[in-house]
Amino acid sequence: MFDYETLRVIWWALLGTLLIGFAVMDGFDLGSGILLPFVARNDPERRVVVNSIGPVWEGNQVWLILGAGAIFAAWPMLYAVAFSGFYLAMFVVLGSLILRPVAITFRGKMPGAVWRRVWDCCLFISGAVPSLVFGVAFGNAIEGVPFTFDPDMHMIYKGGFFALLNPFGLLCGAVAVSMIALQGATWLSLKTDGRVQKRARHAAVIFAMLTPVLFLIGGLWAGGVLDGYRFISAAVPGGPSNPMLKTVARLPGAWMDNYNHYPLTLLAPAVAIFGAVLALIGIGTRKHLVSFIGSSLVQAGVIGTAGVCMFPFLLPSSLNPDASLTVWDASSSRLTLAIMFWTTVIFLPIVAAYTAWVYRVLRGKVTVGHIKENSDNLY
């Protein structure tokens, strides 16, 4: 039904959708962990926060698994370069994510204050570290990653872990932490009451104002200071998956090309700003579902902006721009993309429907009174 070029674009869009799904669904789990020390001042309040995410975090993490699986199957070169070049960063993310289930499970096994405080710190780390590292990785992808290929198409990577922690990468990390904290704050505003909700609402206001400011600074930096990437001789949209068959130049302002040529792409950053405003309106009017929807739009707008400005580049190379991975030359075969597409068409709606049903069953607030009445059955 679809030609090779169209399938590649579809899978670029699906990859973006899965990343947005992860930021929206698992984002409030990570954000709740980030905010745990600040919105909960005693053990019952901390249990409220933990139990607001306890029943759903495993299902939410499916979006991360789907995203990684999509990269592996649809964009094998991207998977190979990113997971090899960012190996230590991915190891740090994995280690911090492992802390979350361990902390949620073991926190309530003993009543000691020191014991629980240690696991509370682990929950904070499991939220803050992945958010920061994912943002730093996105920032480095926009800057360009120091890799190339030898004549036998073996990848050569010249970077290091600490080189990722450059100023623009850290700014993108700050954007990621801020927008994930916003997601967590709006979730806790929706799912809790009393003092926890009041503090979460205050946090939501702070991060709803901070996120667009950091986002705009990052956009101005990427568009006006950083070098972007532009085709000199373009890859063939339906051609072979060989990134060395094109010529790419690294030029100032090149990341603005898509916005200049296709003004509708400006909808992506507009959605992010609108989402922040909607989140503030929802908090101000105590319509917490509205604020959560607004925060979710922020996640979609920020990720969409990065994808739109870079298209068709997936992972530019600062070492050899010609080796940059793009939508047109880093994908699996047409047959693989087609089989995966129809599998996704069948199963993704099932996953979405099941997720909607779970959240309907688990609707309602988690309160301190509920925690005390069911202390032996909850985290």
On the question of pLDDT at 351 being above 90, the answer is no
If one compares 323 and 159, the residue with the highest pLDDT of the two is 323
Residue 9's alpha-carbon distances to 12, 14, 277, 371, 379, in angstroms, are: 5, 9, 31, 48, 43
Residue 141 has pLDDT above 90, yes or no: yes
Residue 4: the pLDDT is 92
The reported pLDDT for the residue numbered 59 is 86
- Supply the pLDDT for residue 154: 87
Mean pLDDT, the chain, rounded, equals 92
Residue 350 domain-assigned (yes or no): no
In one-letter notation, the amino acid at residue 254 is A
Q: What is the pLDDT of residue 148?
A: 92
For residues 340 and 73, the answer to whether their CB atoms sit within 8 Å is yes
φ, ψ dihedrals at 331, nearest 5°: -95, 170
User: Could you say which DSSP state residue 317 is in?
Assistant: B
254 found inside a domain: yes
**Whole-angstrom distance, CA of residue 197 vs CA of residue 190:** 8
CA distance 209 to 229: 31
| Total domains present in the chain | 1
Q: What is the pTM of this model?
A: 0.93
In this predicted structure, what is the pLDDT of residue 109? 86
Domain containing 241: what range? Answer: 12-331+361-373
* Res 196 pLDDT > 90: yes
Rg of the chain in Å (alpha carbons): 21
DSSP letter at 329? T
Considering the domain boundaries, does residue 6 fall inside one?
no
Report the length, in residues, of the chain: 379
Q: Average pLDDT in the 147-171 region?
A: 90
Q: For 34-50, what is the mean pLDDT?
A: 94
The tokens describing 41, both together, are: 């001042």
Give the C-alpha separation, 229 to 155, whole Å: 20
Whether residue 150 contacts residue 196, with contact meaning beta carbons closer than 8 Å, is answered with: no
- Residue 9 or residue 66, greater confidence: 9
- Phi, psi (5° rounding) for residue 250? -105, 115
Separation of alpha carbons 182 and 193, rounded Å = 17
Mean local confidence (pLDDT), 172-192: 96
In a domain, 238, yes or no: yes
- Is the Cβ–Cβ distance between 43 and 93 less than 8 Å? no
Q: What is the pLDDT of residue 239?
A: 81
Give 235's pLDDT tier (boundaries 50, 70, 90): confident
Share of the chain above pLDDT 70, in %: 100
Q: Tens of pLDDT along 70-89?
A: 899 999 999 999 888 888 99
Mean pLDDT of 180-198: 95
Average pLDDT rounded to a whole number, residues 102-127: 92
Gap between the Cα atoms of 245 and 323, Å rounded: 9
Sign of CA dihedral 257, 259, 265, 269: positive
Residue 349: inside a domain, yes or no? no
With a cut of 90, say whether residue 212 has pLDDT above it: yes
**Is 80 exceeded by the pLDDT of residue 1?**
no
Question: Rounded CA gap, 63 and 299, in Å?
Answer: 14
In a domain, 346, yes or no: no
pLDDT, mean of residues 189-205: 95
| Widest distance between CA atoms in the chain | 68
Residues 6+ apart with CB under 8 A from 118: none
Confidence of residue 367 (pLDDT cuts 50, 70, 90): confident
C-alpha to C-alpha distances, 332 to 4, 75, 188, 238, nearest whole angstrom: 10, 6, 41, 12
Q: Which of 331, 12, 310 is nearest to 138 (CA)?
A: 310
Domain holding 326: CATH number?
1.20.1630.10
202-206, 288-292, 375-379: least confident range: 375-379
Average pLDDT over residues 166-194: 96
**Closest C-alpha to 136, from 85, 100, 66, 182:** 85
Q: Is the pLDDT of residue 343 over 80?
A: yes
Token representation of residue 340: 């995966």
DSSP state of 176: H
Give the alpha-carbon dihedral of 348, 353, 355, 361, to 10 degrees.
Answer: -170
pLDDT for residue 276: 97
Tell me, what's the pLDDT at 174?
Answer: 97
Q: Looking at residues 321-326, what average pLDDT do you find?
A: 94
| Residues facing 313 on adjacent strands | 326
Whether the CB-CB separation of 186 and 292 falls below 8 Å is answered with yes
The residue among 240, 257, 236, 229 whose CA lies nearest residue 315 is: 229
Residue 369 within a domain: yes
Residue 189 falls within a domain, yes or no?
yes
pLDDT of residue 95: 93
